[in-house]
Amino acid sequence: MFWSSVLKSLLAACVVTEFAVSFVESFTCANSVSINGVYTPYDACETFQACFNQTQELKMPELARSQKFQQKGCATDECTDLAFSATLGGQRTFRYDQQCCTTDKCNQGDTQPSQGPATANGIQCLACYTEPGTLCIPTLLKCTGKETKCASVIGTVAGSSSPASVVMVGTGCATENACNLNMTILGSINIRTFCMSGFPVLPSAPASTGLRPTSISAVPVLIILPLLKVLL
């Protein structure tokens, strides 16, 4: 009786091990970093989990500044596909695209940025962008393409929880999956986002309706208060 149960569990262990060996096979991933066009290749890495390739791009047209981060490698924890974009005040745009895959060198390619202007989608959001020491007067922004949500984003120094570490606050149009994020972007900024419903475009109303000078000063307060609530 005793020995037969020992044999049974031994047999079970062998079967399980056999399964594990035949299912868990490692593979290699392309491994590189490219920051603003400066490309640094590394030796391919080996993983049992997933390869990832990621592109992050921040464009600030009025400062003629843009930052582009591209990274490929082996996922250290669970890898999830995530693609989103946002257009904030001052036409600052941010695009994030991460893809995960599980075959040898499957992360070698790069996404081609979609060409051609995106068309207005009928949603308008208050757009704003401010860094510490600057004031923002929100303007109405007509959203385009898949950016159908009005989002607020607050950026803090990654790794710091102090409210004094705020580096930017912005509002504008965003894709739906840009809502409710809590993640690090561009390697150094932690962003928290949330969305609210937009204003539908009224064809007969001029875009500035409702933004008479008297109401302008109240708007940044309205935008920033809920953001601070999130921080505290």
Ligand X SMILES: *[C@@H]1O[C@H](CO)[C@@H](O)[C@H](O)[C@H]1NC(C)=O
- Interface ranges with ligand X (CB under 6 A): 53-55, 97, 99, 107-111, 182
Report how far apart the first and last C-alpha atoms of the chain are (Å, whole number).
63
If residue 22 lies in a helix (H) or strand (E), which one and from where to where?
A: helix 2-23
Find the shortest distance in angstroms from Cβ 97 to ligand X: 4
Find the shortest distance in angstroms from Cβ 187 to ligand X: 14
Cβ(95)–Cβ(82) below 8 Å? no
Find the shortest distance in angstroms from Cβ 183 to ligand X: 7
Residue with smaller CB distance to ligand X, 139 or 145 = 145
Which residue of this chain has its Cβ atom nearest to ligand X in the complex? 109
Residue with smaller CB distance to ligand X, 168 or 219 = 168
**What contacts 190, CB < 8 A, 6 or more positions away?**
155, 156, 157, 158, 159, 160, 182, 183, 184
Find the shortest distance in angstroms from Cβ 220 to ligand X: 24
Find the shortest distance in angstroms from Cβ 159 to ligand X: 8
Q: Looking at the DSSP assignment, which residues form a beta bridge with residue 154?
A: 169, 192
Cβ(198)–Cβ(152) below 8 Å? no
Residue with smaller CB distance to ligand X, 6 or 183 = 183
Cβ(190)–Cβ(159) below 8 Å? yes
